[in-house]
Amino acid sequence: MYPPDVNGAATFGHRLATGLAARGHEVHVICHATDRQSHTTVEDGVTVHRVASYGTPVHPTTRVCPPWRASAAAKRLLREIRPDVVHVQSHFFIGRGVINAARALGIPLVATNHFMPENIFGYLRVPRGLQSLVSRVLWRNLIKHYSKAAMVTAPTPRAVRLLHENGFEKRALPVSCGIDVNRYRSAAAEYREQHPCPEHRSVLFVGRLDEEKHVEDLLRAVSLLHTEEPVCLEVIGDGSRREALEELAGELGITDRVRFAGFVDEQELLAAYARADVFCMPSIAELQSLATMEAMSARTAVVLANAMALPHLVRPGRNGWLYPPGDVHALAKAIDEIVADRSVIDSMGAFSEHIISEAHDIDAVLARFESVYRHLIDPGREEDPVRIHTEMAS
């Protein structure tokens, strides 16, 4: 997973690769090509090897590489590159080929998990009655392949617990995906200086418009708001549910208050975060939520579903609120309590930025992964990062 893919894992992979390259490391990325031709380019200081892949009917952005081709390409590239360490972001297709090639060649392997079965049920159209069984099969498959790694990480402590709850028996380390806090903070400050008196309150969602994101709950909540302040909802992203969500906005009578922007470029995304008074994430399947962290870096209050790893980003009453997933009345009430008072918006936004700066800045994340790599390359010279984390936690 790597750009032009649009998802949290691809964004993290790009930040990690370019960040390490900027710190003086030679970085190679092996990922799917967007067509049936393999090729190598240098992008942002990173050598990117794109392996021929094929489109699927599952989703326009979902591409596959046959196992035999993925395995052969991964082994050939690792023999050519001769890396000191390999770091994979997925156990599917080319990721699986890289895992097996690294093992065969005796190269230290790090694996980061971004996967939850819920994230693909909407694509595969798995009937609800079968989702529990399919989930167990998918977790078993992930654990089989990630158990081959010398070190496994996940973005949050909750994500690490999820691995263990589903049968992963080895040690795993929580390491945030990280955010370039200053990029979002400075862009927001510049925008707000130029637009000091917004005409309305703005609620923002950024993400895929697919089943597990539950954007329909946010639309229903917006239709229930009681605040006297004019409120608009901006929805950035695309996906299988977009048409249905646009129809729902019409049925709820809020079309004039909702803007479906689709995919936007980086500058427009920065402007959207800066415009937002409240960021809402109603998803029930977030292992960290980079979009939420980006919004918080831009000094935005948040209202998040009390599900999976989202609670670790909220100090209730200080930077926003949690609400029970699916409870649209509670969601509407939480938004109402924030947007009614500009001073609340500003104070909560400031504390959001403090939370991210303190624990998730990208420079600290890059240093943490460098420590992991050095330990695997030369265990005798670098302390075990899992042991250090355990001692700090205790």
Residue 3, domain member (yes or no): no
Residues 143 and 261 in one domain: no
Tokens 């498959």 correspond to what residue? 141
Residues 158 and 262 in one domain: no
Residue 54, domain member (yes or no): yes
Q: 5 is written with which tokens?
A: 């893919």
Read out DSSP for 102-145? Answer: HHHHT--EEEE----THHHHHHHT--HHHHHHHHHHHHHHHHHH
> Which residue from 50, 28, 19 is spatially nearest to 177, judged by alpha carbons?
19
> To the nearest 10°, the Cα dihedral for 361, 154, 288, 390?
-70
Residues 174 and 185 in one domain: no
Residue 1, domain member (yes or no): no
How many structural domains comprise the chain?
2
For residue 386, what pLDDT is reported? 62
pTM of the predicted model as reported, rounded to 2 decimal places: 0.86
Residue 219 C-alpha from the chain's centroid: 22
Residues 210 and 345 in one domain: yes
Residues 287 and 275 in one domain: yes
For residue 60, what pLDDT is reported? 64
Judge whether residue 389 has pLDDT over 60. Answer: no
Residues 141 and 240 in one domain: no
Residues 131 and 26 in one domain: yes
> To the nearest 10°, the Cα dihedral for 65, 68, 70, 73?
-130
CATH of the domain at 70: 3.40.50.2000
For residues 107 and 78, give the distance between their C-alpha atoms in angstroms, rounded to a whole number: 9
pLDDT class of 353 with cuts at 50, 70, 90: very high
Residues 378 and 335 in one domain: no
> Which residue from 282, 291, 202, 301 is spatially nearest to 241, judged by alpha carbons?
282
Range of the domain at 228: 181-359
Residue 2, domain member (yes or no): no
What SS3 class is residue 51?
Answer: strand
pLDDT per residue over 73-91, tens digit each?
999 999 999 999 999 999 9
pLDDT per residue over 269-304, tens digit each?
999 999 999 999 999 999 999 999 999 999 999 999
The CA distances from residue 4 to 14, 131, 209, 242, in Å, are 10, 29, 17, 20
Residues 323 and 185 in one domain: yes
Residues 37 and 151 in one domain: yes
Judge whether residue 391 has pLDDT over 50. Answer: no
Residues 307 and 319 in one domain: yes
Q: Which helix (DSSP H) or strand (DSSP E) does residue 259 occupy?
A: strand 258-262
